[in-house]
Amino acid sequence: VTIAAHEDLRRRLAEFFQARRCFLFAKGRVGLYAGLRAMGLPPGSSVLMPGYTCMVVPSAVQHVGLTATYVDIDPKTYNIQPSLLDAVAAEPSALIVQHTYGIPCAMAAIERWTAPRRIPIIEDCCHSFGTTIDGRLCGTFGRFAFLSGQWNKPFSTGLGGMLVVNDPALADAVEQLVERELAQPSRRANLVLRCQIAAHDFFVRPTTAMRLALAYRALNRLGMVKGSSSSKELGGLMPADYFTAMAPCQIRRGLREMARIDQNIRHRTEMTAFYHGELSRIGFAPLDVPGVERMPLLRYPVRVANKWDLLRLAIRRAVEIGSWFERPLHPRKTRHEDFGYEEGMCPEAERAAREVVNLPTHLRVSRRTAEHALEFLRRYAEPAGK
Ligand SMILES: *Cc1c(COP(=O)(O)O)cnc(C)c1O
């Protein structure tokens, strides 16, 4: 039963992303790690990425023995700014594009830069499941794409990660690596995850999300639940159980997500359009991205001048407002110097980290909860200055 479910989820995800093969892991970062190792890039060489990401992205790069090099973002799209690529001093061996919040990167401009230099593209699709650009699906541009199944991602396996590979030789290399080294989760780990998934699906609502997230972080610090990153990882060290497969309970959750993926994408698209239409009415700038109202965003970003006060109030008022990323290399506790990020490297990313909060689009957000969140913004948020 488990093997059949495992193969079923792999096949469906590969089909969705028009990829040759899909691999399932304990987390999204592990998919990136596996893909990078299989590529066999020159040791120590530089991998470009936006300086507005999760610390697990540069840490996976470092675990493979490569160097993370940061490029600032376009303040309108929150994605890597193609016009800055020419100024990069390092000679990169790969480029990670991240479709932040589900907003697609400027792929035409990026490919114009990478193609003549033969620099392979890797796609971070942790926010983009079903986003297209010029009719082409995000996740089909790169040598491989990786996705996170973490709680708040568009395709959640309750933590978990996916790697989709198009290149047949690269798919074979990943297959060999997986056969040789990938650990299976322990029965205890599966049980803990199973309880967490059940608790999450039962308790988490837009009105409870903020407080439960705080409780989850507290339990994680006490070692009572599986969290996203240990304190060891925040300092750049690789945990012993890093290279682990997706657990059976996560695979089952993934199959349930797959069964309603069209509904999920449709709902996110509708919520994106709703926020997009309403924001200017309440005095906030909607996204300046052509066609965004027809995209299934993961979260709708809004710039405010009083981010930290607003988030504290959102917890008290039980309004689901998100905050990614809180530093250039999320989360706030990341020791940035351990990942080669120095203050001032990416000013637009730093400004976005100070200003951006985001509105949820997931299936549990109804029109009414969305109106409630907008009303909360209208009353308590100050639009960010120019
Ligand atoms: C969540 C996230 C990841 C990592 O996902 P994990 O499953 O926690 O490893 C990577 N990149 C981005 C942009 C993310 O938001």
Q: What is the pLDDT of residues 25-67, one digit of tens each?
A: 999 999 999 999 999 999 999 999 999 999 999 999 999 999 9
Q: What are the two backbone dihedrals, phi and then psi, of residue 209, each rounded to the nearest 5 degrees?
A: -55, -45
Q: Check pocket membership of 361 for ligand 1, CB cut-off 6 A.
A: no
Atom number, ligand 1, closest to the C-alpha of residue 228: 8
What is the per-residue burial (b if ≥16 Cβ within 10 Å, else e) of 44-74?
Answer: eebbbbbbbbbbbbbbbbbbbebbbbbbbbb
The residue whose CA has the least distance to atom 15 of ligand 1 is 126
Q: How far is the CA of 280 from the centre of ligand 1 (A)?
A: 30
Q: Check pocket membership of 301 for ligand 1, CB cut-off 6 A.
A: no
Q: Report the DSSP beta bridge partners of residue 128.
A: none
Q: Check pocket membership of 56 for ligand 1, CB cut-off 6 A.
A: yes
Across residues 156-184, what is the average pLDDT? 96
Q: 369: which residues sit within 8 A by CB, 6+ positions away?
A: 206, 207, 320
Q: How far is the CA of 29 from the centre of ligand 1 (A)?
A: 6
Q: What pLDDT shows up at residue 206?
A: 86
Cα separation, 334 vs 326, whole angstroms: 10
Q: Are 250 and 153 in contact (CB under 8 A)?
A: no
| Distances from the Cα of 11 to the Cα of 19, 84, 180, 383, angstroms | 9, 38, 21, 45
Query: Minimum mean pLDDT among 146-160, 207-221, 353-367: which range?
Result: 207-221
Measured distance between the N- and C-terminal CA atoms of the chain, rounded to whole angstroms? 56
Q: Check pocket membership of 269 for ligand 1, CB cut-off 6 A.
A: no
Over pLDDT 90: what percentage of the chain?
A: 84
To test ligand 1's pocket by mutation, which of 27, 29, 61 has the most ligand atoms within 8 angstroms of CB? 29
| Distances from the Cα of 194 to the Cα of 159, 261, 292, 362, angstroms | 11, 21, 36, 21
Q: For 217-248, write each residue's pLDDT tens digit.
A: 888 887 778 777 888 888 889 999 999 999 99
ω into 331 cis (within 30 of 0)? yes
The residue whose CA has the least distance to atom 6 of ligand 1 is 28
Q: Report the DSSP beta bridge partners of residue 31.
A: none
Q: Check pocket membership of 369 for ligand 1, CB cut-off 6 A.
A: no
Q: How far is the CA of 43 from the centre of ligand 1 (A)?
A: 24
Q: What is the DSSP letter of 19?
A: -
Atom number, ligand 1, closest to the C-alpha of residue 60: 9
Q: How far is the CA of 289 from the centre of ligand 1 (A)?
A: 23
* 248-259 helix and 261-279 helix, angle to the nearest 10 degrees: 70
Is it the case that residue 386 has pLDDT exceeding 70?
Answer: no
Q: Which two tokens stand for residue 269?
A: 């698209």
Note the pTM of the prediction, 2 decimals: 0.96
Is it the case that residue 346 has pLDDT exceeding 80?
Answer: yes
- Quote the mean pLDDT of the chain: 95
Q: Check pocket membership of 127 for ligand 1, CB cut-off 6 A.
A: yes
Atom number, ligand 1, closest to the C-alpha of residue 153: 1
Q: Check pocket membership of 254 for ligand 1, CB cut-off 6 A.
A: no
Cα separation, 65 vs 46, whole angstroms: 10
Q: What pLDDT shows up at residue 1?
A: 57
Q: What is the DSSP letter of 74?
A: P
Q: What pLDDT shows up at residue 25?
A: 98
Q: How far is the CA of 153 from the centre of ligand 1 (A)?
A: 8
Q: 263: which residues sit within 8 A by CB, 6+ positions away?
A: 363
